[in-house]
């Protein structure tokens, strides 16, 4: 465990750039406190100091009127908007893939649920005036690569997505300014999509009349074109597309599997389920390897892009090892399946297991 500025005790996965994972017990609350919110950067030159008085968000490219907006402009010239949304790294839970895949070996803590406040991207683009023929919008922050050859971290969205009224430029999370390590002073919020699009220390928005082909869209963060396709180490998909929507997934948060629980006593099992805004219809547990399933209690919904907490009161009868499984079903009736491996360890979405020692 380490401590970084504005952060609580976190698990350090890499230090240059910093990648910090949230301890699992922090997930026993609706919102993930800013000081425990995971941290993930790609380029080692991240911003550690910003003068907010001179900071500007630049909007350019295929617009009628390029803009340079101060923080004060964002807070006074636009209506404030707020949304609860889960930010989850595409590589969350990668460390649990079997066979192992290269990349940061995250447990389940590369995600967090927050209430974001800021300005609708649609309103900012309307002020700039998007020119006819616009296709893509790109986003870049103030972080830089140490070597000239490393591609800048630039992400893009289709224009239709950018102006859907949900994508937001956020200046607050959970009622506070963003911690520096989470992209202060501005972060793009793309509800329902993996956090690779949630560009932090956001400084440049560019409207393009063609398709953006940058490294971080066309080479990195690729998934199989057919989402149902299972890759295996010796059978990799030939056609890939940029990752997008958050996959349906559910995880255990309690009990802590390293500690035994008591036979004949009530044991609270709890966890999280989430997806891309489709919503969670039910979460079920199995104690017999998937033969029968028991419905858990869902906590109230906090918003369609929020995670959903679930709970189950279990009274284990006798001592022994118990093998638990959890699966979620979304509001379209789609239930998590058993296996889904991919070479990059992205978008983990299959049924999770927990071995509990009852004594």
Ligand X SMILES: Nc1nc2c(c(=O)[nH]1)N[C@H]1C(S)=C(S)[C@@H](COP(=O)(O)O)O[C@H]1N2
Residues in contact with Mo ion by the rule CB under 5 A: 89, 196
- Please tell me the distance from the alpha carbon of residue 115 to that of residue 302, in angstroms, as a whole number: 10
> Is residue 195 within the footprint of ligand X (CB under 6 A)?
yes
| Cα end-to-end span (Å), the chain | 30
The residue range among 123-131, 198-206, 237-245, 291-299 that interacts with ligand X, by the rule CB under 6 A, is 198-206
> Is residue 199 within the footprint of ligand X (CB under 6 A)?
yes
> Is residue 144 within the footprint of ligand X (CB under 6 A)?
no
Letters for 43-82 (x = contact with ligand X by CB under 6 A, - = none) are ----------------------------------------
Per-residue DSSP letters for 264-288?
Answer: TS-EEEEEEEE-SSS-EEEEEEESS
How remote is the C-alpha of 221 from its chain's centroid? 13
Q: Parallel, antiparallel, or unpaired for β 280-286 and 67-69?
A: unpaired
Q: Minimum distance between the CB of residue 182 and ligand X, rounded to whole angstroms?
A: 4
Per-residue DSSP letters for 55-89?
Answer: --EEEEESBSS-EEE-HHHHHHSS--EEEEEEEE-
Provide φ and ψ at 120, rounded to 5°: -60, 135
* Positive or negative torsion for Cα 98, 100, 101, 106: positive
- When binding is defined by CB under 6 A, the residue of 67, 89, 159, 328 that contacts ligand X is 89
Residue with smaller CB distance to Mo ion, 220 or 302:
220
- When binding is defined by CB under 6 A, the residue of 41, 184, 252, 310 that contacts ligand X is 41
Cβ burial of 51 (10 Å; 0-12, 13-18, 19+) is exposed
- Please tell me the distance from the alpha carbon of residue 58 to that of residue 186, in angstroms, as a whole number: 12
200 binds, among ligand X, Mo ion, none (CB under 5 to 8 A by kind): ligand X
Here the tokens at position 221 are 């963060």
42 binds, among ligand X, Mo ion, none (CB under 5 to 8 A by kind): ligand X
- Please tell me the distance from the alpha carbon of residue 64 to that of residue 74, in angstroms, as a whole number: 19
> Is residue 85 within the footprint of ligand X (CB under 6 A)?
no
Here the tokens at position 359 are 């004594």
69 binds, among ligand X, Mo ion, none (CB under 5 to 8 A by kind): none
How remote is the C-alpha of 105 from its chain's centroid? 15
> Is residue 244 within the footprint of ligand X (CB under 6 A)?
no
> Is residue 304 within the footprint of ligand X (CB under 6 A)?
no
- Please tell me the distance from the alpha carbon of residue 315 to that of residue 318, in angstroms, as a whole number: 9
199 binds, among ligand X, Mo ion, none (CB under 5 to 8 A by kind): ligand X
191 binds, among ligand X, Mo ion, none (CB under 5 to 8 A by kind): none
Residue with smaller CB distance to Mo ion, 110 or 167:
110
Are 114 and 32 in contact by the 8 Å Cβ rule? The answer is: yes
Here the tokens at position 193 are 């999509």
Q: Minimum distance between the CB of residue 323 and ligand X, rounded to whole angstroms?
A: 31
> Is residue 141 within the footprint of ligand X (CB under 6 A)?
yes
- List, in sequence order, the alpha helices (H) in 178-288: 215-218
Residue with smaller CB distance to ligand X, 34 or 296:
34
Residue with smaller CB distance to ligand X, 37 or 312:
37
- When binding is defined by CB under 6 A, the residue of 143, 172, 254, 330 that contacts ligand X is 143
- When binding is defined by CB under 6 A, the residue of 61, 95, 118, 183 that contacts ligand X is 183
Q: Minimum distance between the CB of residue 10 and ligand X, rounded to whole angstroms?
A: 11
Residue with smaller CB distance to Mo ion, 201 or 329:
201
> Is residue 39 within the footprint of ligand X (CB under 6 A)?
yes
> Is residue 307 within the footprint of ligand X (CB under 6 A)?
no
Are 176 and 185 in contact by the 8 Å Cβ rule? The answer is: no
Interaction site with ligand X (CB under 6 A) = 37-42, 87, 89, 141, 143, 153, 182-183, 195-196, 198-201
């Amino acid at each position: 465990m380490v401590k970084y500025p504005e952060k609580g005790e976190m698990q350090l996965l890499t230090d240059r750039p910093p990648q910090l994972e949230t301890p699992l017990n922090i997930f026993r609350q609706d919102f993930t406190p800013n000081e425990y919110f995971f941290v993930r950067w790609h380029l080692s030159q991240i911003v550690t100091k910003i003068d907010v008085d001179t900071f500007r968000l630049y909007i350019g490219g295929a617009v009628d009127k390029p803009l340079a907006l101060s923080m004060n402009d964002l807070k006074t010239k636009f209506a404030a908007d707020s949304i609860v949304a889960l930010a989850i790294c595409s590589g969350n839970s990668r460390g649990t893939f079997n066979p192992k895949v290269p990349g940061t070996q995250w447990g389940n803590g590369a995600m967090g649920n927050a209430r974001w406040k800021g300005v609708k991207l649609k309103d900012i683009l309307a002020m700039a005036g998007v020119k006819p023929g616009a296709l893509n919008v790109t986003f870049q922050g103030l972080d830089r690569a140490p070597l000239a050859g490393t591609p800048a971290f630039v992400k893009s969205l289709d224009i239709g997505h950018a102006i859907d009224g949900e994508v937001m430029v956020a200046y607050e999370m959970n009622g506070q300014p963003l911690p520096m390590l989470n992209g202060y002073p501005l972060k793009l919020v793309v509800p329902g999509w993996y956090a690779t699009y949630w560009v932090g220390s956001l400084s440049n928005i560019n409207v393009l009349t063609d398709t953006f082909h940058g490294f971080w869209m066309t080479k990195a963060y690729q998934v199989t074109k057919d989402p149902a396709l299972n890759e295996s180490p010796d059978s990799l998909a030939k056609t890939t597309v940029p990752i997008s929507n958050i996959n349906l997934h559910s995880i255990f948060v309690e009990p802590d599997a390293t500690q035994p629980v008591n036979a004949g006593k009530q044991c609270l099992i709890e966890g999280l389920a989430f997806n891309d805004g489709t919503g969670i219809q039910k979460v079920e547990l199995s104690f017999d390897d998937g033969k029968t399933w028991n419905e858990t209690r869902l906590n109230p919904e906090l918003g369609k892009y929020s995670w959903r907490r679930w709970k189950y009161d279990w009274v284990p009868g006798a001592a022994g090892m118990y093998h638990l499984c959890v699966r979620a079903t979304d509001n379209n009736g789609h239930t998590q399946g058993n296996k889904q491996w991919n070479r990059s360890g992205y978008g983990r979405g299959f049924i999770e297991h927990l071995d509990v020692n009852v004594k």
